Structure 1
């Protein structure tokens, strides 16, 4: 077309290869865009609070008692897992495109792959804590060990989970302090918001008290509280009076009551039962441990 020998000999480099590289980039961007749209569709929460499609094959331990926090937890979990898949997709697509471009330019890929492997090992070794936090966060998300709204104990900190990321978990304790815990540093997790909880109520009485009478009062009061609202909405099974838990010089005789309740509601049930039982003891004249030294509990 140009009647120029140099252009004719260089047409492959000047026209064919640039067009091939451009085509590779366009195809890579289109594939990445399609993959990201598909991931967004799978992670988008449906109307009516249904589980996102991406989470359906995964096990979910979130209690229904979380209410409005349940949808927030699912959305955050789906969004985080979706971001991981998006990052993996981008690396695979553009990494493959980069290798194809190098091959098109006539570069020997063997030394490049070897250098990339050595560089990856060096970066991974230098940033092993970040990689550890990231991988721990991924597995926590996939296994749904905890999520937004759960009350957890991770060893150094305990409280209500406010956010779960791939590297950091944000928690707020009962004093209002916000804790930022690295996922890689979490060796164990005690979750008080999965399945069910047990409200354990220990009630002390004096040595001169009638244990059978006190046990009967505890059983009666606990049944009344459990059968009436609002506690009836939280109690899952009838209360169980275990009887004498321990005897000590400072605490007197300790009686124990347990109630199976909805997750996260054990503390409210404990406070309500303890207040009602102590009031019933006072009405019945059951002496407390502080008056054990007086005859007949007087």
Structure 2
């Protein structure tokens, strides 16, 4: 606050104090003392206390606005809405023949067609929103603290803190390079949607299983034997996601060499029809399962392969159903099954 503004604010109190000074009566002395106290208080209040109040009010309002904006944007992304111009009538009803164009919220058709994509997008948006909210809160509160210290006359303290923080930051930076790498890698994992909670992933070094939690520093993976792996994001050089968008169920059966190939293929075709007609498993198929011919001859056996494109995470169930149905149909056709294998 400038000197001119301060004089303007305190001028009424100065005149009140001056007007009350010449009166020698007891009541005049009380008025004069009151005016002087009011003037002293106002002069003190318009100094650092008022600056501190302004900083706190502005900081709280800014924090509330930033949080609301982040929540609004992430909620729109999570629900799959985006802004688009459409033609509308004067009643603001969307139409293909109206002349008036307005901006409306349109729901993403991809999210409607594939609920899994919508769920993944919602989880990713809310996770990133939480990270942005935390970062904004730390930045605004730190700025508020520095401004308050400067307002109360602790500028030397602030300068000392900043200098010390710079030295400590350089020292810690050399030792925390891996930590920074973990945080940056975790941020890109979330933004790029490389994998999310519930995905079956292969992160290398034996860390294969279902993702239970993803944060900025660590990815937590539960393997199929129950082991919980805590993998640093900065150490993940490659990530194989088995449940993103779609998966493939592959089942292999082996029959003795010399078996009638046409009979075997016909039996496997009936097995595919059984799985495809199942009410539950049929909904998991994204394409009609295919039966290839003889893929290999191993240890005196023909190897036949069945494969199907399925919904994420459903490859294991479809693969097992194909093997069971294939075994039953081959036995009914008089074919002996010498072995089976799967890849799901």
Measured against the shorter chain, the TM-score band is 0.7 to 0.9
Superposed displacement of residue 202, structure 1: 0.8
CA distance in 2, matches of 1:144, 1:35: 24
Q: Which residue of 1 aligns with 2:79?
A: 50
8 Å CA contact retained: 1:243, 1:257: no
* Superposed CA offset, 1:36-73 (max 9, x none): 23333444589xx83488xx9xxx99x94659xx64x5
Q: Which has the larger radius of gyration?
A: 2
Q: Which runs of 5+ in 2 are unaligned?
A: 1-16, 18-32, 34-38, 83-105, 340-344
TM-score by length of 1: 0.76
What SS does the aligned partner of 2:47 have? helix
Find out whether 1:286 has 2:335 as its counterpart: yes
Question: SS state of the match for residue 203, structure 1?
Answer: strand
Query: What CA distance in whole angstroms lies between the structure 1 residues aligned with 2:277 and 2:329?
Result: 17
Q: CA contact under 8 A between 1:42 and 1:52: conserved in structure 2?
A: no
Deviation string for 1:213-247 (max 9, x for gaps)? 21222123213321342321111112222212222
1:5 — aligned with what? none
**1:252 maps to 2:301:** yes
1:179 aligns with 2:210: no
- Residue 177 to residue 64, structure 1, CA distance change in 2 (3 Å): farther
**1:212 corresponds to 2:262:** yes
* Structure 1, unpaired ranges of 5+: 3-7, 291-298
Report whether the alignment pairs 1:222 with 2:260.
no
Match of 1:294 in 2: none
Residue from 39, 51, 55 that aligns with 1:20: 51
Q: Distance in 1 between matches of 2:223 and 2:76?
A: 29
**Higher RCO (CA < 8 A, seq sep 6+):** 1
Distance 1:112 1:162 in 2: 40
RMSD: 3.5
Say if 2:188 is the partner of 1:139.
yes
Residue 65 of structure 2 is matched in structure 1 by 34
Deviations 1:169-228 (A, max 9, x none): 222222233332222222211111112211111111111212232122212321332134
Query: So what's the TM-score if we normalise by structure 2?
Result: 0.67
Deviation at residue 86 of structure 1 after TM alignment: 1.8
Q: Deviations over 1:74-100 (max 9, x none)?
A: 554333212221232134323444554
Moved more, 107-116 or 166-175: 107-116
Instruction: Give the conservation status (yes or no) of the 8 Å contact 2:270–2:329.
Output: no
Distance 1:144 1:259, change over 3 A: same
Superposed, 1:28-177 pairs within 5 Å as 28-44=59-75, 50-51=79-80, 64=114, 66=116, 71=119, 76-101=123-148, 105=153, 107=155, 116-155=165-204, 156-177=206-227
Task: Output the CA distance in 1 between the equivalents of 2:187 and 2:253.
Answer: 44
Distance 1:194 1:34, change over 3 A: same
Report whether the alignment pairs 1:277 with 2:306.
no
Separation of aligned partners in 2, 1:65 and 1:202: 31
Q: CA deviation at 1:122?
A: 2.4
Structure with the bigger percentage of strand:
2
SS of residue matched to 1:263? coil
* Residues 228/204 of structure 1: CA separation in 2 closer, same or farther (3 Å cut): same
